[in-house]
Structure 1
Amino acid sequence: MFKGPFPLFRNTRVISGAAFGLVLVVLGGVALAQQDKYALNVPGGLAFSEFRGYERWQLVSTSQTDKAVAAILANREMIEAYLAGIPDNGKPFPDGARMAKIHWIPAENEFFPDTIVPGSQHDVDFMVKDSKRFADSGGWGWAAFKYDVATDTFTPATQSDEPPQANDAKCGFECHTIVEKRDYVFTKYAKR
């Protein structure tokens, strides 16, 4: 038994050590529970990891409906193609061009009630130009991943989602055929 002049410090150290251990266990459990979104993919081989860093890509444009507020982002190859006049000049986007479209549920701005801003994230959609890999879908591959706010996780979208997704890398082709002359890309680069 400890017989020094400060027995209280011994108990405090034991309690502190136990508390520190508990904190490590909790934090370790949280880290294990967090999803690695970059491990996800859709049938047909399009993976979330192909869009790593999309959160920092340059803005192409925005869009808004009564159901969603969206930001359309593009990687450097796609931005350079837009700046070179593609697709308005009739040329196709180069292989490696990528876009991400992040959708949020519309929300009222708390300071300006007549202003709509992004609320909770709804999903993220991706498209990549790879004319060899996706030769039978206009050279583009698509993927949609819905977001669950409660669990902070993504899952591949399905036919039961809004809008319905075929849940494969060619899920966007049918919809995008109406802009075939624009190399299957709806979004115009917003002038700035």
Structure 2
Amino acid sequence: MNRPLVVLFAIAAGSFATAVTLAASKDDVARSPIYGVAIPDGYRHWEMIAPAHETPPLDELRVVLGNDVAVKAYHDGTLPFPDGSVLVKLAWKHVQSKEFAPAFVPGAATTVQVMVKDSKKYASSGGWGFGRFINGKPADLAQHQSCLACHQAKVVDHDLVFTRYAP
């Protein structure tokens, strides 16, 4: 008669242990140096903002995705972007298709780059936090230090965002 209670307790204890492990792993996510930005959950399901092709030496195919806040800002033409906007750029090596010679397709993944808008948290960097990840791990400090300088030098008039919405 006591046996079902023991089994039930064991199941509940196991579920609790799983919940604690999941909570710990969420706190353990890889974050960029300087800004503390992480790759956002579910970003692969976000709307596409625009594709891009980088010429050599990078020679990459890229696509920028945006969360709902960023997408609404693009649709409404809102600048500066509102707090809560998140942009994710995926990049792959540019390779010729084996099946269709005139086409080029994504090859090996190179980086995932993230921009998070929080005008208070990132006040000293134009309101944006930056993250660059290679194989899911943050790139080195020097690569993160170059993010802000490049954006400030080239797109200060577009709230530090290079990508325009593709119609």
| TM-score bracket relative to the smaller structure | 0.7 to 0.9
Q: TM-score, normalised by structure 2?
A: 0.76
Identity of aligned residues (%): 33
Letter in 2 for 1:75: N
How many angstroms does 1:43 deviate by?
A: 2.0
Q: Which residue of 2 aligns with 1:166?
A: 144
- Residue 46 of structure 1 deviates from its aligned partner by 2.2
- Deviations 1:67-123 (CA, angstroms, capped at 9, x unpaired): 21101000000000000012xxxx310000000000001111111112111011111
Q: Kindly indicate whether the alpha-carbon contact (under 8 Å) linking 2:132 and 2:144 is maintained by their aligned counterparts in 1.
A: no
| Aligned residue in 2 for 1:8 | none
* Structure 1 equivalent of residue 47 of structure 2: 58
Give the Cα separation in 2 of the matches to 1:120 and 1:80: 31
Q: Distance in 1 between matches of 2:82 and 2:96?
A: 39
Which structure 1 segments of 5+ residues have no match? 1-34, 148-153
Larger Rg: 1
Aligned partner (choices 80, 93, 96) of residue 72 of structure 2: 80
Aligned residue runs from structure 1 range 127-142, under 5 A = 127-142=115-130
- If asked which structure has higher relative contact order (CA below 8 Å, sep 6+), I would say 2
2:84 alignment partner, SS class: coil
Structure-2 change in CA distance of 1:117 and 1:146 (3 Å)? same
Q: Deviations over 1:30-76 (max 9, x none)?
A: xxxxx98x710122342325x11111110000111242110100000
Residue of structure 1 in register with 2:11 after alignment: none
Query: Partner amino acid for 1:56?
Result: H
- Matched AA of 2:151: H
Structure 2 unpaired stretches of 5+: 1-24
Aligned partners of 1:173, 1:139: CA distance in 2, in Å? 11
Q: Which runs of 4+ in 1 moved over 6 A?
A: none
The code of the aligned residue for 2:65 comes to: L
Contact 1:39 1:47 in 2 (8 A): no
Partners of 1:185 and 1:129 lie apart in 2 by 11
Which of these residues, 104, 114, 117, is aligned with residue 126 of structure 1? 114
TM-score, scaled relative to structure 1: 0.67
Match of 1:179 in 2: 155
Which amino acid is 2:33 matched to?
P
> May I ask how many residue pairs the two structures share in their alignment?
138
Matched, 1:113 2:101: yes
Q: Tell me how far apart the structure 2 counterparts of residues 180 and 92 of structure 1 sit (CA, whole Å).
A: 10
Partner of 1:93: 81
Is the deviation greater in 122-131 or in 60-69? 60-69
Match of 1:46 among 36, 39, 59: 36
SS in 1 for 2:144: coil
AA in 1 matched with 2:120: K
Structure 1 vs Structure 2 CA RMSD:
2.0
Contact residue 35 and residue 129 of structure 2 kept, 8 A:
no
Q: Indicate the SS of the match to 1:61.
A: strand
